[in-house]
Amino acid sequence: MKKNVKIKNKNNEIISNKNRYEDPTEFIKLNEDNRIWGKPKRWVRAKELTFAINGEQTFYYPDEEYDDADVLTTKIENEINYVELKAEYTIEIEDYNPVPTSVSPMQIRLALNQLGLRQIIEDAVASGSQDLKDMWEFATEFKRDYPLIIQLGIDLEITPEEIDNIFRLAGTK
């Protein structure tokens, strides 16, 4: 099964997604080595106070300038103070589980049965438009992006992510 490698910045915002690999090791190493997304978690020598005037301090950064909020931990080694800094990005690896673009009527019904949503959907269809009734009864496939599916989700307050998960489950039936 393919893995999706998601890269996020320090603010937890996705900066790279849809990186799909059977084995993402080489992709991750390439990005870490080239510092495409920034610096990884690392140890640097701690800043040193150079002077303080009227309560304002000035520091010397022997290796690189950093923000105190990025310090994870400290250590002393050979009488030198070090700080461990957060990575400027994080890498998350998850199983890639695409949303099927369409499923059969049997698949969608089995998924809805499993989720306990079948009766809710059938009640909504029964009180819906004739087009919705015809689609539910006569469709040979249910397409994820079909406007009646999207509208039914809105009407029943089912989020797009929840609809995706229904289609994913249906795809396994």
pLDDT in tens, 84-94: 999 999 888 88
- Strands across the sheet with 3-9, in order? 14-21, 3-9, 89-95
Q: pTM of this prediction?
A: 0.51
User: Which residue has tokens 């289609």?
Assistant: 167
Q: How many CA atoms lie within 13 A of 166 on its CB side?
A: 26
| CA atoms of 71 and 43, how far apart (whole Å) | 10
Q: Does residue 1 surpass a pLDDT of 80?
A: no
Contact assessment for residue 39 and residue 87, using Cβ atoms and an 8 Å cutoff: yes
Contact assessment for residue 84 and residue 71, using Cβ atoms and an 8 Å cutoff: yes
Hey, what are 135's tokens?
Answer: 């689609």
pLDDT in tens, 22-60: 888 888 888 888 888 888 889 999 999 998 788 788 999
pLDDT in tens, 42-51: 999 999 999 8
Beta pairing, strands 80-85 & 102-103: unpaired
Contact assessment for residue 9 and residue 88, using Cβ atoms and an 8 Å cutoff: yes
Percent of the chain residues topping a pLDDT of 90: 61
